[in-house]
């Protein structure tokens, strides 16, 4: 069994707002292996983007911090590294792509200039080597006329093109891990299909680990081998993709799958009643208890850990806690 590319253990991130401390994520742990895509799924406010920002150590300064936990990458704990050391890792060993390519690219610089920036920062190539490298990368991401694109500005490109440029930028330094935060949410569905297919093929060639953050279970089904489901700052279920789709255990996962209008049945969707709790409002017991169809009194008071219930299948739910082994 390979060693994981990145391993996050018991991560807790706190945000400060108007005198209050709000735990955005709590007790989050996951690992990604080379060549594998891990899906991080959840709805808005569940903290999935916070996990990505924490891993890259780019949480908003002054109003948030990593309270506890470890992020093990390449034998080091990223939470303890200096800013200088982190800068060497960002863009180089771990890369990230964001949701809206229009705002992720600087509108006043050409594409070529922005792509060169990353390479100059991390490597000692000559300008010719840099340009050659970039052109090869642009061809890899299926951008037609890469020499023209190098001289263009971001606003001259379509959304799909911009996202391909972002992917190229992320891959330039050949990272071991790629974190993609909702990379196709802002794109048309036909363009999304192209981008996802591209990401798949690149990952296979390079044996890169990928964390794919999304709210779209359909995308997860296409791309991921394993899935972590998050709710209100915690991971509530982790399993291989087939297991999650066919035998989901956590009531939230079941509810999420039932809410999707993907099926061909007529009639109302089996939705989850209620709303997501405000971050920090539930400190005790299960955070999903208010909305769960079969909760019991113990659900509100006991601290529930992630328990193993099968091969690589972990659930945070009292119903299964005694059946499994607490990690």
Partner 1 sequence: MTQQPLLEVQGLKKYFPLKRGLFIKSVVGAVKAVDDVSFALNSGETLGIVGESGCGKSTIAKCILRLIEPTAGKVLFEGKDICPLSMTEMRTYRKYMQMIFQNPYASLDPQMTVAKILEEPLLIQHFGDKQSRRQRIMEIIREVGLDDTHYDSYPHEFSGGQRQRIAIARALVTRPKVIIADEAVSALDVSIQAQILNLMQQLQQKYGLTYIFISHSLPVIRHISTTIGVLYLGKMMEYAPKKELFAHPEHPYTQGLLNAVPSLANRRKKGEIILAQDVPSASNPPSGCVFHTRCPYCKDICKEQIPELKEVGSHHWVACHLW
Partner 2 sequence: MENNRTRRQSVMRMICARFIRDRQAMVGAVLVCILVLTALSASVIAPFDPIFGQNYDMVLQNPGTGSYMLGTDELGRDTFSRLVYGSRFTLAAAVIPVAFAMIIGIPIGVYAGYKGGFMDQWVIMRVVDAFQAFPSLILALALAAVLGGGFTNAMIAIGIGFLPNFIRITRSQVMSVRNLDYIQASKSVGCSDLSIAVFHILPNILPILLVQMTLSMASAVIAEAGLSYMGIGASPEQPSWGSMLRISQGYLSVQPWMAVWPGISISAIVLGFNLFGDGLRRAIDSKVRH
Q: For binding to partner 2 (CB under 8 A), which residues are involved?
A: 274-275, 278, 281
Of the candidates 117, 229, 93, 87, the residue with the CA atom closest to the CA atom of residue 171: 93
Task: Provide, rounded to whole angstroms, the least separation between the CB of residue 238 and partner 1.
Answer: 18
- Of the ranges 51-59, 61-69, 113-121, 188-196, which one interacts with partner 1 (CB under 8 A)? 188-196
How is residue 324 written in tokens?
A: 């499994």
Q: In the set 77, 132, 262, 305, which binds partner 1 (CB under 8 A)?
A: 262
Contact partner, 159, from partner 1, partner 2, none, Cβ < 5-8 Å per class? partner 1
Give the integer Cα–Cα distance in Å for 110 and 96: 20
Q: Does 17 bind partner 1 (CB under 8 A)?
A: no
Contact partner, 230, from partner 2, partner 1, none, Cβ < 5-8 Å per class? none
Contact partner, 161, from partner 1, partner 2, none, Cβ < 5-8 Å per class? partner 1
Q: Does 156 bind partner 1 (CB under 8 A)?
A: no
The residue assigned the tokens 């809206």 is 100
CB 68 within 8 A of CB 11: yes
Region 200-239 residues binding partner 1, contact defined as CB under 8 A: 200-201, 215-219, 221-222
Task: Provide, rounded to whole angstroms, the least separation between the CB of residue 262 and partner 1.
Answer: 5
- CA–CA–CA angle 174, 175, 176 (5° rounding): 125
Nearer to partner 2, 18 or 294 (CB): 18
**Sheet of 6-17: strands edge to edge?**
20-32, 6-17, 64-73, 76-77
CB 133 within 8 A of CB 125: yes
Give the integer Cα–Cα distance in Å for 289 and 122: 48
CB 114 within 8 A of CB 105: yes
CB 224 within 8 A of CB 37: yes
Q: Does 282 bind partner 1 (CB under 8 A)?
A: no
Task: Provide, rounded to whole angstroms, the least separation between the CB of residue 45 and partner 1.
Answer: 8
Task: Provide, rounded to whole angstroms, the least separation between the CB of residue 278 and partner 2.
Answer: 6
How is residue 131 written in tokens?
A: 């340009």
Residue ranges in contact with partner 1 by CB under 8 A: 43-44, 158-161, 188-194, 196-197, 200-201, 215-219, 221-222, 245, 255-264, 268-273, 275-276
């Amino acid at each position: 069994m390979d060693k994981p590319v990145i391993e996050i253990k018991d991560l807790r991130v706190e945000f400060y707002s108007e005198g209050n401390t709000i735990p955005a994520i709590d007790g989050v742990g996951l690992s990604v292996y080379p060549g594998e895509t891990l899906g991080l799924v959840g709805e808005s406010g569940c903290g999935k983007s916070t996990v990505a920002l924490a891993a890259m150590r780019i949480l908003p300064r002054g109003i948030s911090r990593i309270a506890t936990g470890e992020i093990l990458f390449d034998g080091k704990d990223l939470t303890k590294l200096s800013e200088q050391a982190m800068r060497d890792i960002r863009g180089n060993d771990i890369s990230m792509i964001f949701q809206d390519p229009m705002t992720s690219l600087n509108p006043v610089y050409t594409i070529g200039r922005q792509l060169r920036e990353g390479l100059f920062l991390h490597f000692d190539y000559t300008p010719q080597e840099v340009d050659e490298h970039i052109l090869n990368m642009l061809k890899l991401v299926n951008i037609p006329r890469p020499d023209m694109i190098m001289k263009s500005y971001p606003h001259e490109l379509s959304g799909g093109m911009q996202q391909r440029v972002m992917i190229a930028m992320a891959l330039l330094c050949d990272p071991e891990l790629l974190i993609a935060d909702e990379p196709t949410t802002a794109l048309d569905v036909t363009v999304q299909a192209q981008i996802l297919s591209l990401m798949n093929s690149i990952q296979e060639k390079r044996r890169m680990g990928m964390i794919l953050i999304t709210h779209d279970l359909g995308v997860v089904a296409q791309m991921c081998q394993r899935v972590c489901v998050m709710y209100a700052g915690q991971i509530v279920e982790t399993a291989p993709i087939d297991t999650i789709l066919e035998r989901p255990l956590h009531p939230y996962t079941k509810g999420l799958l039932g809410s999707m209008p993907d099926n061909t049945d007529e009639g109302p969707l089996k939705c989850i009643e209620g709303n997501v709790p405000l971050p920090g409002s539930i400190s005790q017991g299960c955070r999903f208890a208010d909305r769960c169809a079969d909760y019991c009194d113990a659900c509100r008071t006991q601290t529930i850990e992630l328990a193993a219930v099968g091969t690589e299948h972990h659930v945070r739910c009292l119903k299964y806690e005694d059946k499994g082994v607490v990690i």
